[in-house]
């Protein structure tokens, strides 16, 4: 028989060993669980998705971009950190720019007051902008261009015949006549391509001086200088006339003069129009409309832009009830919207109604917080 004391010692050592083994197992299980949790946490952090077309939009699950409908793609953790840092820096820069708008300050308005004064906002987004160029026009009676074209045709015919001459001076002289006639046509607005399409055997351009049923007529449009860069050959033109109620005529821009008229500061645009019924007569006045596609632009509603005389500004909703002034750099205008080159970002909300009242409060707050007023 084993002494009682020794038996107790062995039992104690056994219990200690068992507890040690259980403790080690529990510790290992907890370690494994923490390691697993850590891996899952890292994996979750990496499962961030973004839109390739709109990197500012991110999501914690796959799907489609609510702005453009493009599939969201996974973003690496490092890229996410870099993206967030970039956005933070850009945000800081814009906030600094906003605070430096002279005479303006960020203001806060209660929800009740917003409803009372009728504050409305609209998201700044990319839009397909179009510009309608409207101008006065006149059915052409242009004996000068008629003479210039017929002279060019005659010069070409002489040049062709001079190739058979034994005298080189004859060919040189005929070439100089062609160059002079060509220069005259260029001054009258025809392009090099259009001049190349004039041949000696072509019929005389009587549609420049006569109007005949079933034939085309020339129409001259006076486009103002500030819109002249929008008009190009090949564009479609719609014409109407106060003398021909309910009638519309479609034409095509044929040529744009290279010289601005000094008195009217306008550019002559030449178009050809089918005169099927013979209603269009020389010197008849018409109204012209040319639709110009400006492409996809980041745009803001016209009503959102306030012109102070020195700068253009808009108020951006930073959060509900908080509005920040931004100075804008604007581009083309089209159908109620204005292209924004600088000042606001896609997805921000700009005030489109009651902005004059917000502007007044912004100026008042800026004046009250100025050092001159505090003294």
Query: pTM for the whole thing?
Result: 0.60
pLDDT at 185: 92
Distance of CA 360 to the CA centre of its chain: 30
The percentage of the chain sitting over the pLDDT mark of 70, rounded to a whole number, equals: 78
Residue 125 vs residue 355, higher pLDDT: 125
> Could you tell me the pLDDT band of residue 42, with boundaries at 50, 70 and 90?
very low
Among 129-138, 319-328, 361-370, the minimum mean pLDDT is found in 361-370
pLDDT digits (tens, 9 = 90+) for 73-109: 887 654 555 655 565 555 555 445 444 688 899 999 9
Q: Tell me the average pLDDT across 66-73.
A: 72
pLDDT beyond 50 at 244: yes
Q: Pairing between strand 244-256 and 312-319?
A: unpaired
Phi, psi of 353 (to 5 degrees): -145, 140
Q: What is the pLDDT of residues 268-308, one digit of tens each?
A: 999 999 999 999 999 999 999 999 999 999 999 999 999 98
Average pLDDT of span 103-129: 92
Do 104 and 362 form a contact (C-beta atoms < 8 A)?
yes
Are 119 and 353 spatial neighbours (Cβ–Cβ below 8 Å)? yes
Band of residue 222 on the pLDDT scale cut at 50, 70, 90: very high
* Parallel, antiparallel or unpaired: strands 266-275 and 285-301: unpaired
How confident is the prediction for the chain on average, in pLDDT?
82
Least confident of 45-59, 139-153, 167-181: 45-59
**pLDDT band, very low/low/confident/very high, at 10 (cuts 50, 70, 90):** low
Neighbouring CB atoms inside 10 A of 375's CB total 5
The 3-class secondary structure across the chain, one letter per residue, is CCCHHHHHHHHHHHHHHHHHHHHHHHHHHHHHHHHHHHHHHHHHHHCEEECCCCCCCEECCCCECCCCCCECEEECHHHHHHHHHHHHHHHHHHHHHHHCCCCCCCEECCHHHHHHHCCEEEECEEEEEEEEEEEEEEECCCHHHHHHHHHHHHHHHHHHHHCCCCCHHHHHHHHHHHHHHHHHHHHCCCCHHHHHCCCCCCCCCHHHCCCCCCEEEEEEEEEEHHHHHHCCCCCEEEEEECCEEEEEEEEEEEEECCCCECCCCEEEEEEEEEECCCCCCCCCEEEEEEEEEEEEEEEEEHHHCEECCCCEEEEEEEECCEEEEEEEEEEEEECCEEEEEECCCCCCEEEEECHHHHHHHHHHHHHHCCHHHHC
- Report the pLDDT value the prediction gives residue 59, as an integer from 0 to 100: 83
Q: What is the pLDDT of residue 58?
A: 80
What is the structure's pLDDT at 100? 67
Determine which of 60-74, 105-119, 177-191, 308-322 has the lowest per-residue pLDDT on average.
Answer: 60-74
Report the DSSP beta bridge partners of residue 269.
221, 256
CB neighbourhood size of 245 (10 A):
7
Closest C-alpha to 327, from 149, 107, 98: 98
pLDDT at 98: 46
Domain locations along the chain:
44-100, 101-129+295-370, 142-207
Instruction: Output the pLDDT for position 62.
Output: 87
Give which of 324, 320, 316 is closest to 347, Cα–Cα. Answer: 316
Ranking 59-68, 181-190, 217-226 by mean pLDDT, the lowest is: 59-68
> Does the CA dihedral 349-353-354-355 come out positive or negative?
positive
Under the banding of pLDDT at 50, 70 and 90, the label for residue 13 is: very low
181's tokens: 């006639």
Assigned CATH topology for domain 101-129+295-370: 2.40.420
Which pLDDT score is estimated for 190? Answer: 84
Asked if the model's pLDDT at residue 338 lies above 60, the reply is yes
Specify the pLDDT at position 170.
79
Model pLDDT, residue 26: 47
Token reading at 163: 């190739």
Q: Is the pLDDT of residue 357 over 80?
A: yes
């Amino acid at each position: 028989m084993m002494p009682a004391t020794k038996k107790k010692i062995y039992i104690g050592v056994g219990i200690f060993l068992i507890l040690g083994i259980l403790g080690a197992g529990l510790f290992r299980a907890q370690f494994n669980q923490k390691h697993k949790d850590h891996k899952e946490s890292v994996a979750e952090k990496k499962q961030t998705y973004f839109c390739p077309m709109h990197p500012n939009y991110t999501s914690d699950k796959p799907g489609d971009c609510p702005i453009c409908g493009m599939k969201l793609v996974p973003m690496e953790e490092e890229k996410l950190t870099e993206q967030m840092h970039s956005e933070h820096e850009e945000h800081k820069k814009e906030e600094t720019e906003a605070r430096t708008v002279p005479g303006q300050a960020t203001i806060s308005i209660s929800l009740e007051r917003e409803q009372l004064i009728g504050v409305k906002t609209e998201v700044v987004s990319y839009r397909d902008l179009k510009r309608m160029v409207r101008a006065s026009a006149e059915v052409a009676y242009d004996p000068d261009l008629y003479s210039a074209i017929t002279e060019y045709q005659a010069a070409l015919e002489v040049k062709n015949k001079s190739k058979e001459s034994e005298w080189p001076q004859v060919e040189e002289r005929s070439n100089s006549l062609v160059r002079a006639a060509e220069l005259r046509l260029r001054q009258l607005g025809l392009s090099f391509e259009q001049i190349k399409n004039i041949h000696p055997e072509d019929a005389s351009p009587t549609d420049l001086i006569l109007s005949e049923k079933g034939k085309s007529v020339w129409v001259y449009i006076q486009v103002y200088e500030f819109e002249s860069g929008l008009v190009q050959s090949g564009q479609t033109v719609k014409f109407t006339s106060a003398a021909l109620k309910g009638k519309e005529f479609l034409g095509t821009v044929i040529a744009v003069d290279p010289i601005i008229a000094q008195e009217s500061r306008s550019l002559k645009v030449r178009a050809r129009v089918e005169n099927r019924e013979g209603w269009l007569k020389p010197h008849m006045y018409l109204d012209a409309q040319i639709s110009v596609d400006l492409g996809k632009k980041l745009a803001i509603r016209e009503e959102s832009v306030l012109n102070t005389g020195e700068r253009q500004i808009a108020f951006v909703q930073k959060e509900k009830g908080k509005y920040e002034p931004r100075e804008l750099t604007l581009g083309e205008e089209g159908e109620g919207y204005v292209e924004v080159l600088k000042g606001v970002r896609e997805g921000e909300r700009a005030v489109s109604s009651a902005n004059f009242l917000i502007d007044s409060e912004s100026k008042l707050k800026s004046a009250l917080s100025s050092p001159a007023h505090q003294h």
